[in-house]
Amino acid sequence: MKKYFAFLGSLLFIVAGAGAQAPSGADVLRHIDKNLVLDKAVMSTTMIIHGRAGTRTIRSKNWIEGKDKAFVEYTEPAREKGKKMLKLGDQLWNYIPEPTDRIITISGHLLRQSVMGSDLSYEDITENKKLIDLYDANVTGSETIGGRNCCILELRSKEEDITYDSRTLWVDTERWLPLKEERCAKSGKPIKRSEILEVFRVEGRWYPKRVLYRDLMQNGEGTEYIIDAVDLHAAIPESQFTKAALKK
């Protein structure tokens, strides 16, 4: 009986959407990309990691330019202060100031590893690519999340070598944000979930303020990723995205 009502709900959504010219999957992705993909930005962020050994809070400053450039500098707590991360295209480097004072190259499958024991990987932290370039999308139904009307969007990867082969998004059809998301491996097994807990407006676009990520391969209670401040017009010198900047 439950399956019947789930099917009926999806059918009604599709029929109603057809009459109202509901957006296609590709249209929904374009709306999401318009909100989430940044030309450039300087952000202050907080990660609250709810791990098995307790809760840790890590703060950082982030510089982003296009899909290929990202720089992260950790500012708190004291034991993490001065650690930095640089992404250029598919290359990524970590800088550890003390006691080693060395730069470590992160590549290949290592990009999918956890950042500082959080539920986010290096790829997750630095991702700024358009979903429309990575996935084909289909609207498969609708659901209400936190009182918001959402369409359910199924994504299938256009690429072979990609971490999340398929993704399911519950997209707020007014603000065009994925309020809930499930990311899966090629096997179809869910490996990560996320939920937008709070949003805010940034110069006419909706953007996540606080997101809870859950790595389903870990046993913790998830990681909250919070954007404390964002500047979309900050002047970013080209030298910011260089290996020399890691040791400054």
Res 20: pLDDT? 55
Domain residue spans of the chain: 22-247
Q: For the chain, first and last CA: distance in Å?
A: 63
Q: What is the pLDDT of residue 188?
A: 93
Q: Which residues of 221-247 are buried (b: 16+ CB within 10 A; e: fewer)?
A: ebbbbbbeebeeeeebeeebbeeebbe
Tell me, what's the pLDDT at 14?
47
Q: What is the pLDDT of residue 158?
A: 95
Predicted local distance difference test score (pLDDT) of residue 226: 98
pLDDT in tens, 67-88: 999 999 999 999 999 999 999 9
* Distance set, CA 149 to CA 13, 29, 39, 120, 144 (Å): 11, 16, 29, 27, 5
Distances 54 to 22, 76, 88, 95, 114 between C-alpha atoms, Å = 45, 17, 33, 25, 17
Q: What is the mean pLDDT for each group of 10 consecutive residues in the chain (248 residues)? A: 47 47 91 96 97 93 97 97 95 92 92 94 94 97 96 95 95 97 95 97 95 93 97 96 95
Query: What tens digit of pLDDT does each residue of 150-191 get?
Result: 999 999 999 888 999 999 999 999 999 999 999 999 999 999
196: nearest Cα among 184, 181, 218, 174: 181
**Residue 135 pLDDT:** 98
Question: What fold is seen in the domain 22-247?
Answer: outer membrane lipoprotein receptor (LolB), chain A (2.50.20)
Contact at 8 Å (CB) between 45 and 225? yes
Question: What was the pLDDT predicted at 21?
Answer: 67
Q: Could you tell me where the beta strands, DSSP code E, fall in 158-189?
A: 166-172, 178-184
pTM for this one? 0.88
Q: What is the pLDDT of residue 8?
A: 45
Residues 6+ apart with CB under 8 A from 193: 180, 181, 182, 183, 213, 214, 216
